[in-house]
């Protein structure tokens, strides 16, 4: 009898039927599953809390308090101010099932590495090149999925959307919005003034950074003392911020450098700005790194990767790369997060 029936069911797919039966599953390539996940920039830079080794679900616990200090007296005067909150991070099973033509990939590999044209697709260096290429593109997909979600039969729910679209429907189904409404939001929401993400306005009193920061001051000022507090934005939004900084002071820029200045790191009012390639344009988040949680099933027996020389078995000219892993997102304290976007996204 199987001692762990729930584990086996997670991989018991109804189709396809295997005929004829075979035990060939390709060459194991498990080391490439971790890069496929961890090369996403948001994860590589450590801009979120990462939890690996999840088999299906994980409970994210957090304590909050309204204050523990009371008048001194001769007895206990507990105010029951501590509240234990729990949020569940659920993994979505994902797969990469790529079929690549040797006739196309071999010349690319030879050109990229300087390999001799006489080398074959069975060469270990070619196998590593194919796996690394697929892992790299998978990492881009993971980066997008963390923020935008992935629209599949079972959606990967991202921090800002569940289907890759930054509209009201996608946002309201996201991790941060969690089916909240404009009147009763799940997080702190700020409708950014029209054109507030443009370079001309982004740092002004009607700009996205000022308005999101002002919302935090009014609604959740305690997060401003967190050591890991940060803004999160897309490269386009970061570009608008850099243009605004370069044009500051009648186009003299910071320290009178104008556009002749480098921005090794961006800040707004001393708060770091994390530029995440997977973020939507015209979206801005202010929270602390530990509040955003990304989970995976790395380091469990639920991940797998194979490199299959299909051309040896089916008469094609293809190689196949398969990867299986799980991914999920959650927010620990929704009310410690400020989301800024235009009315079309946040307004109901």
pLDDT at 91: 92
Residue 133 pLDDT exceeds 70 = yes
* Rounded Cα distance, 241 and 203, in Å: 7
Q: What is the mean pLDDT of residues 189-210?
A: 95
Residue 9 pLDDT exceeds 70 = no
Q: What is the mean pLDDT of residues 200-220?
A: 95
Which candidate, 237, 246, 336, places its Cα nearest to that of 281?
237
Number of Cβ atoms within 10 Å of the Cβ of 32: 21
Total-model pTM: 0.82
163 secondary structure, DSSP code:
S
pLDDT grade for 15, boundaries at 50, 70 and 90: very low
Which comes out higher in pLDDT, residue 86 or 323? 323
Residue 90 pLDDT exceeds 80 = yes
Number of Cβ atoms within 10 Å of the Cβ of 289: 19
37 secondary structure, DSSP code:
H
* Rounded Cα distance, 215 and 275, in Å: 21
Which comes out higher in pLDDT, residue 82 or 257? 82
Out of 76-85, 114-123, 135-144, which region has the weakest mean confidence (pLDDT)?
A: 114-123
* Rounded Cα distance, 63 and 51, in Å: 19
Which candidate, 178, 173, 154, places its Cα nearest to that of 162?
173
Contact 18, 262 (CB under 8 A): no
Residue 115 pLDDT exceeds 70 = no
- Each residue of 137-184: pLDDT tens digit? 999 999 999 999 999 888 899 999 999 999 999 999 999 999 899 999
What angle (nearest 5°) sits at the alpha carbon of residue 202, between those of residues 196 and 203?
Answer: 135
* Rounded Cα distance, 142 and 44, in Å: 12
Radius of gyration of the chain measured on its C-alpha atoms: 24
pLDDT at 304: 83
pLDDT grade for 84, boundaries at 50, 70 and 90: low
pLDDT at 121: 56
CB neighbour list of residue 74: distance below 8 Å, 6 or more residues apart: none
**Joined tokens for residue 310:** 């299909």
- Each residue of 299-328: pLDDT tens digit? 887 888 888 888 888 888 888 889 999 999
Which comes out higher in pLDDT, residue 93 or 127? 93
Q: What is the mean pLDDT of residues 119-131?
A: 74
């Amino acid at each position: 009898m199987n001692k762990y029936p729930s584990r086996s069911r997670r991989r018991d797919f109804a189709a396809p039927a295997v005929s004829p039966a075979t035990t060939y599953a390709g060459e194991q390539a498990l080391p490439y599953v971790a890069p496929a996940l961890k090369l996403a920039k948001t994860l590589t830079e450590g801009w979120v809390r990462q939890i690996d080794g999840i088999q299906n679900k994980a409970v994210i616990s957090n304590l909050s308090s309204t204050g523990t200090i009371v008048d001194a007296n001769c007895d206990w005067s507990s105010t029951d101010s501590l509240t234990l909150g729990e949020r569940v991070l659920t993994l979505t099973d994902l797969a990469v099932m790529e079929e690549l033509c040797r006739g196309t990939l071999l010349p690319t590999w030879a050109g990229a590495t300087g390999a001799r044209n006489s080398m074959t697709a069975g060469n270990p260096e070619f196998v590593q090149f194919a796996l690394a290429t697929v892992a790299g593109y998978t990492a881009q997909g993971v980066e997008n999925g963390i923020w935008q979600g992935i629209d599949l039969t079972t959606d990967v729910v991202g921090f800002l959307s569940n289907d890759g679209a930054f509209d009201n429907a996608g946002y309201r189904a996201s991790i941060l919005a969690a089916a909240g409404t404009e009147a009763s939001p799940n997080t702190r929401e700020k409708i950014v003034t029209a054109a507030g993400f443009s370079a001309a306005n982004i740092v002004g009193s009607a700009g996205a950074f000022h308005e999101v920061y002002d919302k935090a001051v009014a609604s959740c000022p305690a997060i401003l003392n967190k050591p890991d507090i940060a803004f999160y934005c897309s490269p386009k939004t970061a570009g608008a911020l850099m243009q605004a900084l370069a044009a500051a002071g009648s186009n003299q820029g910071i320290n009178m450098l104008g556009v002749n200045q480098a921005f090794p790191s961006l800040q707004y009012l001393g708060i770091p700005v994390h530029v995440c390639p997977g973020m939507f344009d015209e979206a801005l988040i202010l929270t602390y790194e530990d509040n955003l949680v990304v989970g995976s099933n790395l380091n469990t027996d639920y991940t797998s990767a194979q490199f299959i020389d299909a051309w040896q078995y089916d008469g094609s000219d293809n190689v196949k790369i398969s990867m299986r892993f799980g991914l999920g997102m959650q927010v620990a304290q929704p009310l410690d997060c400020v989301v800024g976007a235009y009315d079309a996204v946040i307004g109901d």
